[in-house]
Chain A
Amino acid sequence: MSPWLVLAGLGAFHGINPAMGWLFAVALGLHRDSRSALWLSLIPIAAGHAVSIALVAAAIVFLGLVVEPQLLERVAGIFLIAWAAYYAVYGHRHRVRIGMTTGLAGLGLWSFLMATGHGAGLMLVPVIIPLCLSASPAGELTASGSLPVALAAIGVHTGALLATTALVAGVVYEWAGLAFLRQGWINMDMIWVAALLATGLILIL
């Protein structure tokens, strides 16, 4: 499958998770009784997510400049598995810093913290490394070769996340309502842990 499709698919996967922002957007729309509050909140949600992803991508590219690609994949894989273990145990045990009266900056910070805590960027590493490698003719990671590819990867992922978040938030706010959460909110955290583990294993093996 095209790595770009995988990036977009992971964007949709992240976007569909209530903990990544669509639910917060719906809640803010309901609280302020304002459709525009919902749509406006999508911008910081996407931005916070993109910054979190970008930091991971930057770290990968930077590491790639100093270590061999194979070693890089191993290190990243071990890190992902460790993160999965951390998240399984401590995922929801953190300070709650942002509440329902938050402004757009607070919402952006919230989205950044949620994406980072969930390891959203780490999940993209197995796709980003080969993309960056293929961008340079010698099959090595170079800053000049990697930068545009990494930026494009972040753009594709965030675009898919934003589209999914907007779609789900819009449908729930306008038609579906929140009652379905009682039955329909399956434990995304378990799926995330499995996804992080699988991603880590892909990198190592």
Chain B
Amino acid sequence: MATWKPDPSFYPSPRMAAKAPIEKLAYVAAFDPDRKKPDAIAVVDVDPKSATYAEIVGQVEMPNTGDELHHFGWNACSSCLCPNAPHPHVERRYLVVPGLRSSRLHIIDTKPDPKNPKIVKVIEPEEIAEKAGYSRLHTIHCGPEGIYVNALGNGEGKAPGGIFLLDHDNFEVLGQWEMDRGPQKLAYDFWWHLGHDTMVTSEWGTPDTFENGLVPEVLLGSKYGRRIHFWDLHKRKHLQEIDLGEEHQLVFELRPAHDPTKAYGFVGCVISLKDLSASIWTWYRDGSKWAIKKVIEIPAEPADPDRLPPILKGFKAVPPLVTDIDLSMDDRFLYVSCWGTGDMIQYDVTDPFKPKETGRVRIGGIVSRATHPGARNGALNGGPQMVEVSRDGKRVYFTNSLYGAIDPQFYPEGIDGWMVKLDVGDNGGIDFDERFFVDWPKGHRPHQVRLEGGDCSSDSYCYP
């Protein structure tokens, strides 16, 4: 229903959003890698003053098994205040939760009781395939024309993957977003520059190349995604693709600058075939075109083959595997998850072409198995993965699972889930909050984190 005033969690600019009240709850996608019991959205208490701080205080289970919940998002956010498509009298209330494996979409109401969210609508994969021609739902963003959902496969589970739209009031599937997709075939992440009318998308692979784990031949043959694509956000037309080059594989998370006047952003590349390094690239406006430049290279670490999983033994090294990145609201700090080595690295990206490392912690990791002050067993597995930053930039949350079929390729004994929190110094520097270690209940692995009221990868803004 329409409201009389804008939702209080909408902010015209990222500067104003950075002054938002501190979040008290986090919503975390949790999935069962064995696909036997239903996945869930867990509610984690992140209020340090609360008696149940760092505990799971609520949960809503999905109606089916085997969804593999992925990068969920809100039905509406600050982009509703945009001047060209204003419709700010809606509530940020519903979580839109996609199943990457099932292609099912769940609408979850957080309103009456935020700690006890309820499913209000389920959209079945057949309906999405019929109306939008897509499957393998991956990421959700609220934006100018409603809710945008991207998918890694078409209706038959093949290429091309792409984006479709959902009405943000009644959650009807409106149809495919692209009007002219040009050469784009693969999909992974997407986001936009509202100030520059530009959509950006990245690439992983077709479902047959990841649903049973990464396929070494595909990887070594450089057949996974290695491009990013730029689109006219309003004409829905492909404008330009940039190939990062044959050695670069798996181009994942896209983090455009929050300030809508800035025309640059960061994207992580998981692995280089040359030396197993991971890299961060800055895309930017160069005259009338977009261009991209590698700005960070994180090297692989030599390791004893006996301590490596079969897929890595021959390389005698641990790849960093940068699987997620996140940019603080003031566009100052970039957080980089190294799921392989176990590092979470903070860079000062005030100059987006000259990042400076300002902080690093290590937890888990294929070889290091680094522990946490709050952990009991002293040898953690999994590594920093989905990372989320609070709007004020003072707190960073992350979990340790990547994808059910890929987790055992790098962590063969399976992953014991955990969620941790970092405190950020005023001028950079990161440290574990010793009180915050969520030892995830067995049977589920935690994935994407969303913070109450919005976070650094949920909202986009039209005003500087």
Q: Any chain B CB within 8 A of the CB of A167? A: no
Q: Any chain B CB within 8 A of the CB of A96? A: yes
| Cβ B261 vs Cβ A31 within 8 A | yes
Q: Any chain B CB within 8 A of the CB of A36? A: no
Please give me the 9 A-B residue pairs with the lowest Cβ-Cβ distance, nearest first.
A99-B197, A92-B87, A24-B83, A23-B83, A178-B12, A96-B85, A187-B89, A27-B83, A96-B144
Q: Any chain A CB within 8 A of the CB of B152? A: no
Closest residue of chain A to B146 (Cβ to Cβ) is: A93
Q: Mark B377-420, 1 if CB is under 8 A from A, else 0.
A: 00000000000000000000000000000000000000000000
| Cβ A186 vs Cβ B84 within 8 A | no
| Cβ A190 vs Cβ B4 within 8 A | yes
The answer to whether residues A93 and B167 also contact, given A100-B462, A182-B10 and a CB cut-off of 8 A, is: yes
Closest residue of chain B to A181 (Cβ to Cβ) is: B12
Interface positions of B (Cβ within 8 A of A)? 2-6, 8, 10-13, 16, 81-89, 144-146, 167, 194-197, 233-234, 260-261, 462-464
Contacts of A182 in B (CB 8 A): 6, 8, 10-12, 16
Closest residue of chain A to B4 (Cβ to Cβ) is: A187
Distance of A92 Cα from B85 Cα, bound (Å): 8
Q: A178-B16, A181-B81 are in contact. List 6 more A-B contacts (CB 8 A).
A: A101-B197, A178-B463, A182-B8, A185-B5, A187-B2, A189-B89
Contacts of B195 in A (CB 8 A): 31, 100-101
Contacts of B86 in A (CB 8 A): 18-19, 23, 92
Distance of A186 Cα from B197 Cα, bound (Å): 27
* Interface secondary structure of B, over-half rule: loop
The answer to whether residues A99 and B233 also contact, given A178-B463, A182-B6, A189-B2 and a CB cut-off of 8 A, is: yes
Interface size classification for chain A: 20 to 34
Distance of A88 Cα from B368 Cα, bound (Å): 59
| Cβ B234 vs Cβ A98 within 8 A | yes
Return the contact of A31 from the options B16, B81, B260 (Cβ within 8 A): B260
| Cβ B89 vs Cβ A95 within 8 A | no
* 15 residue pairs from A and B, CB less than 8 Å apart: A18-B86, A23-B83, A30-B261, A30-B464, A33-B261, A92-B86, A96-B85, A100-B84, A100-B194, A181-B12, A183-B5, A185-B88, A186-B4, A186-B5, A189-B2
Q: Mark A64-75, 1 if CB is under 8 A from B, else 0.
A: 000000000000
Return the contact of B464 from the options A31, A92, A110 (Cβ within 8 A): A31
Contacts of A183 in B (CB 8 A): 5
Distance of A102 Cα from B232 Cα, bound (Å): 12
A35 to chain B, nearest CB (A): 15
Contacts of B196 in A (CB 8 A): 100-101
Distance of A100 Cα from B259 Cα, bound (Å): 13
Q: Any chain B CB within 8 A of the CB of A26? A: yes
Closest residue of chain A to B195 (Cβ to Cβ) is: A100
A58 to chain B, nearest CB (A): 27
Contacts of A93 in B (CB 8 A): 146, 167
Distance of A190 Cα from B88 Cα, bound (Å): 12
Return the contact of A18 from the options B10, B83, B167 (Cβ within 8 A): B83
Distance of A19 Cα from B82 Cα, bound (Å): 9
Contacts of B13 in A (CB 8 A): 178
Q: Any chain B CB within 8 A of the CB of A179? A: yes
A55 to chain B, nearest CB (A): 22
Closest residue of chain B to A24 (Cβ to Cβ) is: B83
| Cβ A190 vs Cβ B2 within 8 A | yes
A44 to chain B, nearest CB (A): 13
B257 to chain A, nearest CB (A): 13
| Cβ A100 vs Cβ B260 within 8 A | yes
Closest residue of chain A to B170 (Cβ to Cβ) is: A93
Closest residue of chain B to A100 (Cβ to Cβ) is: B195
The answer to whether residues A110 and B84 also contact, given A30-B463, A31-B464, A99-B197 and a CB cut-off of 8 A, is: yes
| Cβ A185 vs Cβ B6 within 8 A | yes
| Cβ A179 vs Cβ B16 within 8 A | yes
Closest residue of chain A to B89 (Cβ to Cβ) is: A187
Closest residue of chain B to A190 (Cβ to Cβ) is: B2
Closest residue of chain A to B464 (Cβ to Cβ) is: A30
B453 to chain A, nearest CB (A): 13
| Cβ B464 vs Cβ A181 within 8 A | no
Contacts of A181 in B (CB 8 A): 6, 12, 81, 88
Distance of A186 Cα from B88 Cα, bound (Å): 9
Q: Which of A6-57 contact B (CB under 8 A)?
A: 18-19, 23-24, 26-27, 30-31, 33
Contacts of A30 in B (CB 8 A): 261, 463-464
Most buried by B among A102, A187, A190: A187
Q: Which of A90-118 contact B (CB under 8 A)?
A: 91-93, 95-102, 110
Distance of A93 Cα from B462 Cα, bound (Å): 19
Distance of A102 Cα from B235 Cα, bound (Å): 12
Return the contact of A99 from the options B81, B84, B87 (Cβ within 8 A): B84
Most buried by B among A18, A93, A183: A93
Distance of A185 Cα from B233 Cα, bound (Å): 26
Distance of A186 Cα from B83 Cα, bound (Å): 15
Contacts of B3 in A (CB 8 A): 187
Most buried by A among B4, B12, B146, B233: B12
Distance of A33 Cα from B262 Cα, bound (Å): 12
The answer to whether residues A95 and B197 also contact, given A23-B86, A27-B83, A185-B5 and a CB cut-off of 8 A, is: no
Distance of A51 Cα from B416 Cα, bound (Å): 64
Contacts of A92 in B (CB 8 A): 85-87
Distance of A201 Cα from B167 Cα, bound (Å): 32
A113 to chain B, nearest CB (A): 10
Closest residue of chain A to B11 (Cβ to Cβ) is: A182
